Amino acid sequence: MIEDKIWEVNPNQNIIGSDEVGRGCFAGPISAASVKINYSHINLLNDVKDSKKLSPKKRRVIFDRVLENNIQYSYQSLDNKFIDIYGIKVANEKVLENSISSVYETGDS
């Protein structure tokens, strides 16, 4: 994976991972979550391959790990009005941008 190559060169580099949900909905909203981690925390998220395939219980366990270890995260959402005005493609890009920007701007990059 690309993060392994990055951490090989600089083990202190933070990496941001993001995912969205709601792109297929008709009534909104569309939401995105991002986490900023470094190599020392990667083992806490080993269970995450495809977030949409995680059970609600497993998502809760992983989120608890994020909280317990002070891993920086962001959750953003855009409502159906935004989607109606700008379209789902723009809404998808914007919600991911908002989530990534929010977590990027917290703490060390």
* Any domain includes 75: yes
Residue 35 neighbours by CB under 8 Å, 6+ apart: 16, 17, 45, 66, 71, 72, 73, 103
* Any domain includes 82: yes
Structural domain for 32, as ranges: 2-104
Instruction: State how far the Cα of 3 lies from the Cα of 15, in Å rounded to an integer.
Output: 7
* Any domain includes 109: no
Check which CATH number belongs to the domain holding 58 and give it. Answer: 3.30.420.10
Q: Running along the chain, 109 residues long, what does each successive block of 10 average in pLDDT?
A: 78 87 80 91 79 86 92 95 93 96 76
Please report the pLDDT score of residue 109 as a whole number: 47
Please report the pLDDT score of residue 107 as a whole number: 63
Domain count, the chain: 1
Residue 31 region by backbone torsions, left for phi larger than 0, else alpha for psi between -120 and 50, else beta: beta
pTM above 0.85, yes or no: no
Please report the pLDDT score of residue 108 as a whole number: 57
* Any domain includes 24: yes
* Any domain includes 98: yes
Residue 43 neighbours by CB under 8 Å, 6+ apart: none
